[in-house]
Structure 1
Amino acid sequence: MRKQDITVVDTRSARKAVVATALGNAMEWFDFGIYSYLAVTIGKVFFPAMSGPVQLVYTFATFSVAFIVRPFGGLFFGRLGDRLGRKKILTVTLLMMSLATLSIGLIPSYASIGATASVLLLLARLVQGFSTGGEYSGAMTFIAESTPDKKRGFLSSGLEVGTLAGYIAGSGLVTLLTYLLGESGMIAWGWRIPFFVAAPIGLVGLYLRNHLEETPAFEAMEQSKESRKSAPLKEMLSVHWRALAIGMVLVFFYNVVDYMVLSYMPSHLTAVLGYGETKGLLLILIVMFIMIPIVLAMGFFSDRVGNKRIIQGGLIGLLVLSLPAFLWIGSGNNGLVFAGLLCLAVFLACFQGTMPSLLPALFFTDVRYGALAITYNVSASLFGGTTPLVMAWLINLTDNRLVPAYFLVGTSIIGLAVVTMYVTETSGRALRGSAPAVEEKKEIPDILEEPEEAMWWYEEQVQLEEAGSHPESDR
């Protein structure tokens, strides 16, 4: 390893990358957020023949169907991202998401055009799902490759601040509109407003992304080889299967908790527990505001104690406190309901502050975007996006309001076992396939004194090459 191989990351450029990527992510989750918070209203607009919990099941079925195409979108955009660059693909996915979100606000109601309205809603959700397949995995890859190793956890956690900001904006707008317009006004036309608002947010994110530079890791990989072909899909799956499997389990428990707390919970409070819509949304809104500094703190501490330890702590917390938290939420006491929601939110923050830096570090540079897109979207489609639907269906089937708590406990057991036994600590270390990335030149001499630690992934690369793969090295 030579001195010139080490990347010195400009801090301002890194922060700009975080802001631009997080804003696009905020727009994506603004859309997902408003759909979740408007689930009861959307059910009445597009599925008026149903009622109560059954109507909610149909609404969340439309929500979940977008996840069917997410793996295809991830495969399509992920492979392109490894060949053409991260920046170009992220611009395309954001544009698609903006147009699809705007189109939902333009769909006539069931009362106007009948079942065609439900079909159009479904088609718009499919476009959103396809674009999202390349968006989030690309955003994680872009930030991880644009930040110095010792600050990757903290800066990458900014991506999830964008997620929370999108949810907060969505829930805040829906709460305000519900208060001002009432139930009848929301059903008549008020539900459309949040979807119209999402379009200009997407345009701002699009502008910022167009003014970003390509990631240093991708550029270094491009310069290291004059002619490069991406690994065939079959080869990627057969050679990188271990990292793909570990990533799928990580995404599994991360998404179950994420969608449970941020997507399903508003409807659980309203449709299952009987809270007023405004009251339930306001509680979630306050919890998400509190989560923002906690997520950043988790990212900050992950750079010091390791992201693996933070994740283990969150899983143990869920294992012990999921059942008490849902008992508090179902108590009817405002203070206990808030305490239960906040308890779940803190453990979710353990994952939000660490996963954006851990997941990209599982893969080598030349397959990172594509492999992460496959891992994330297949797992999210099977387990994350279906969580609201499964919870609504199981509660309707069993008439047991504690089903979500038992689900979280089982999920945490699986996650804790896999993280403890199979996840390698990557905090503060170079990404697989890349030389170290530092914030200041004065760090370089110390790195050159310990080249084996700096290139910790080298033996793994040799093993993969022997198995038939060719991960790119920036050495």
Structure 2
Amino acid sequence: MLAGRVRDVTETQTTSPPTQRPVRQLLAASVGNAVEWYDWYAYTFLATYIAAQVFPKSADDSLVPLLSTFAVFAVGFFMRPVGGLLMGAVADRHGRRAALTVTILLMGGSSLLVGLTPTYAAAGVLAPVLLVLARLLQGLSVGGEFAASTTFLVESAGPGRRGLFSSFQYVSTTVGQLVASGVATLLVGSLSDGQMNGWGWRVPFVLGAVLSLVGFWIRRGAQETRSAEQREAPRPGLFEALRRHPRESLLIGGITAGGTIAYYTWTSYLPTYAELNAGIDKSDALLAGTLSLAFFALLQPLGGLLSDRIGRRPLLLFFGLGFALLAVPLLHTLRDSFAVLLLVQCAGMVLLTGFTSISAAVNAEIFPPRVRAAGIGFPYSLTVALFGGTAPYVGTLFKDQGHAGLFPWYVAVICLVSSVVYLRLPETAHAPLRR
């Protein structure tokens, strides 16, 4: 029934002329998205320095450790879905370009707030309060960015290029992560511990605020992708996508669950997993992770182009069934060897590309344009929070309980469930996108 309903949707699509400046559109979405994720990951890489200054262990106020816990929880599991819903609604009501402008200004402002947050020694409990506020705004921005940029990228693509344009969602995300890692590594390597704790940790966030202004300038010149009919139609309600398209919302969750747990396991958690379970040296684990991420970014356009030729479903099944069959053998192959870790990571990246390179296109092709951004944003971000964001915690929990070998099976089972969804998906690659 679900597949039939989505098939009916895709078969009644109408065409609209593609944007006149596709390269500028691609640049506007990609540069802004890279800046967004640079700011997000900069906090991750420098969290220990920030915590030492803003959440000191010696703090007498009992609110300080509470705020430390809340900062991680609220941003990771609450604000991203909220951002997907709110910024998606902005994109559907006021235009994709307007939403992209709001998200990058939010991220730039919150990044600057992190960089200027006073220490606990200087401001007391106000310091962690400001940092929590900044992270809440960053979570709102990141959740909204995917909804807006996904819609914008796919609607900007010309005929037969939606998969290619879609792939730059994860190209830019990975570039942002690599730049954040590089900046953090450069600072840690060139400054003393005293300098890093004093002012060095602030530099990436001030730089992020400046880069956000550059992204804002590029996005201001982008072309709006909503059709004239959409702009003249009554504005959709905040929960209209969920209310009128519940099956499509559930479909987004089913598509995303396997992809997000595999993505966060292979791109974020695998170095730590290798350290905990295979005795890999931390520096080797981080180097392998960096090299595999660069390899991953290069693969994305190839996956997008391939999907424009052979369709979305074959790539999704390649990813889903590949991880269902190989996640356990790959993770059990890990041992105290840099070469083995790098091969395992790169093999996973090849499989993962079947999902990441086309997820934006697949999502955008499911919803009608009236509620496309909000329809994607909320269920996608919620699924990421439930499955992707918790992957490192689930893996660590299995390890603490003495059942580390169960985590690969957990990943495999979730990917198998998503594969069942992929089998039922109608093929949308060669149907025109509704405008």
Give the alignment's TM-score, normalised by structure 1: 0.79
Match of 1:253 in 2: 258
Q: Distance in 2 between matches of 1:269 and 1:41?
A: 24
Q: Secondary structure at the match of 1:8?
A: coil
CA deviation profile, 1:221-278 (whole Å, cap 9, x unmatched): 337xx5x223445553233111110001222222222222333345545677665554
Asked if 1:282 is matched to 2:287, the reply is: yes
Q: Secondary structure at the match of 2:182?
A: helix
Unaligned runs of 5+ in 2: 1-13, 59-66
Q: Secondary structure at the match of 1:29?
A: helix
RMSD over equivalenced CA pairs, Å:
2.8
Q: Secondary structure at the match of 2:161?
A: helix
Deviates more, 1:371-380 or 1:386-395: 386-395
Match of 1:130 in 2: 140
Asked if 1:65 is matched to 2:65, the reply is: no
Offset, 1:102: 1.9
* Alpha carbons 2:84, 2:146 under 8 Å: kept: no
* Alpha carbons 2:15, 2:432 under 8 Å: kept: no
Indicate how the Cα distance of structure 1 residues 274 and 399 shifts in structure 2: closer, same or farther if over 3 A, else same: same
* Alpha carbons 2:178, 2:293 under 8 Å: kept: yes
Q: Distance in 1 between matches of 2:264 and 2:88?
A: 23
Q: Secondary structure at the match of 1:7?
A: coil
Match of 1:405 in 2: 408
Q: Distance in 2 between matches of 1:430 and 1:43?
A: 50
Offset, 1:97: 0.7
Indicate how the Cα distance of structure 1 residues 110 and 233 shifts in structure 2: closer, same or farther if over 3 A, else same: closer
1:16 to 17, 21, 24: 24
Match of 1:299 in 2: 304
Match of 1:360 in 2: 364
Q: Distance in 2 between matches of 1:427 and 1:299?
A: 11
Indicate how the Cα distance of structure 1 residues 72 and 154 shifts in structure 2: closer, same or farther if over 3 A, else same: same
2:417 to 400, 414, 428: 414
Indicate how the Cα distance of structure 1 residues 195 and 235 shifts in structure 2: closer, same or farther if over 3 A, else same: closer
Q: Secondary structure at the match of 1:426?
A: coil
1:35 to 43, 46, 65: 43
Q: Distance in 1 between matches of 2:253 and 2:120?
A: 38
Percent of paired sites with the same residue: 30
Indicate how the Cα distance of structure 1 residues 267 and 241 shifts in structure 2: closer, same or farther if over 3 A, else same: same
AA of the residue aligned to 1:297: L
Q: Secondary structure at the match of 1:28?
A: helix
Q: Distance in 2 between matches of 1:113 and 1:328?
A: 49
AA of the residue aligned to 1:356: A
Match of 1:427 in 2: 429
CA deviation profile, 1:29-86 (whole Å, cap 9, x unmatched): 1123223333455455555539xxxxxxx97874442130222222222222212111
Q: Distance in 1 between matches of 2:409 and 2:127?
A: 36
* Alpha carbons 2:253, 2:383 under 8 Å: kept: yes
AA of the residue aligned to 2:182: G
Asked if 1:212 is matched to 2:215, the reply is: no
Indicate how the Cα distance of structure 1 residues 21 and 114 shifts in structure 2: closer, same or farther if over 3 A, else same: same
1:386 to 383, 390, 398: 390
1:222 to 221, 230, 237: 230
* Alpha carbons 1:37, 1:267 under 8 Å: kept: no
AA of the residue aligned to 1:30: Y
* Alpha carbons 1:36, 1:266 under 8 Å: kept: no
1:375 to 367, 373, 379: 379
Q: Distance in 2 between matches of 1:123 and 1:270?
A: 33
Indicate how the Cα distance of structure 1 residues 381 and 126 shifts in structure 2: closer, same or farther if over 3 A, else same: same
AA of the residue aligned to 1:424: P
Offset, 1:338: 1.1
Output aligned runs, 1:136-155, within 5 Å. Answer: 136-155=146-165
Offset, 1:159: 2.1
* Alpha carbons 2:311, 2:428 under 8 Å: kept: yes
AA of the residue aligned to 2:422: V
AA of the residue aligned to 2:33: N
Q: Distance in 2 between matches of 1:113 and 1:146?
A: 47
2:34 to 5, 26, 31: 26
Q: Distance in 2 between matches of 1:187 and 1:145?
A: 45
Q: Distance in 2 between matches of 1:249 and 1:369?
A: 18
Q: Secondary structure at the match of 2:227?
A: helix
Q: Distance in 1 between matches of 2:281 and 2:192?
A: 11
CA deviation profile, 1:351-372 (whole Å, cap 9, x unmatched): 1111011111110011111211
Q: Distance in 1 between matches of 2:133 and 2:215?
A: 24
* Alpha carbons 1:150, 1:429 under 8 Å: kept: no
Match of 2:269 in 1: 264
Offset, 1:181: 3.3
Q: Secondary structure at the match of 2:21?
A: helix
* Alpha carbons 1:243, 1:363 under 8 Å: kept: yes
Indicate how the Cα distance of structure 1 residues 398 and 183 shifts in structure 2: closer, same or farther if over 3 A, else same: farther
Q: Secondary structure at the match of 1:9?
A: coil
Match of 1:440 in 2: none
* Alpha carbons 1:299, 1:353 under 8 Å: kept: yes
Indicate how the Cα distance of structure 1 residues 338 and 42 shifts in structure 2: closer, same or farther if over 3 A, else same: farther
Q: Distance in 1 between matches of 2:175 and 2:416?
A: 30
* Alpha carbons 1:247, 1:359 under 8 Å: kept: yes
Asked if 1:85 is matched to 2:95, the reply is: yes
Deviates more, 1:181-190 or 1:239-248: 181-190
Q: Distance in 1 between matches of 2:428 and 2:303?
A: 15
1:165 to 175, 191, 207: 175
1:198 to 197, 208, 217: 208
Q: Distance in 2 between matches of 1:77 and 1:42?
A: 28
Deviates more, 1:104-113 or 1:238-247: 104-113
Match of 1:466 in 2: none
AA of the residue aligned to 1:314: F
Unaligned runs of 5+ in 1: 51-57, 435-475
* Alpha carbons 1:328, 1:339 under 8 Å: kept: no
* Alpha carbons 2:37, 2:142 under 8 Å: kept: no
Offset, 1:153: 0.2
Q: State the aligned residue count.
A: 415
AA of the residue aligned to 2:137: V
Match of 1:323 in 2: 328
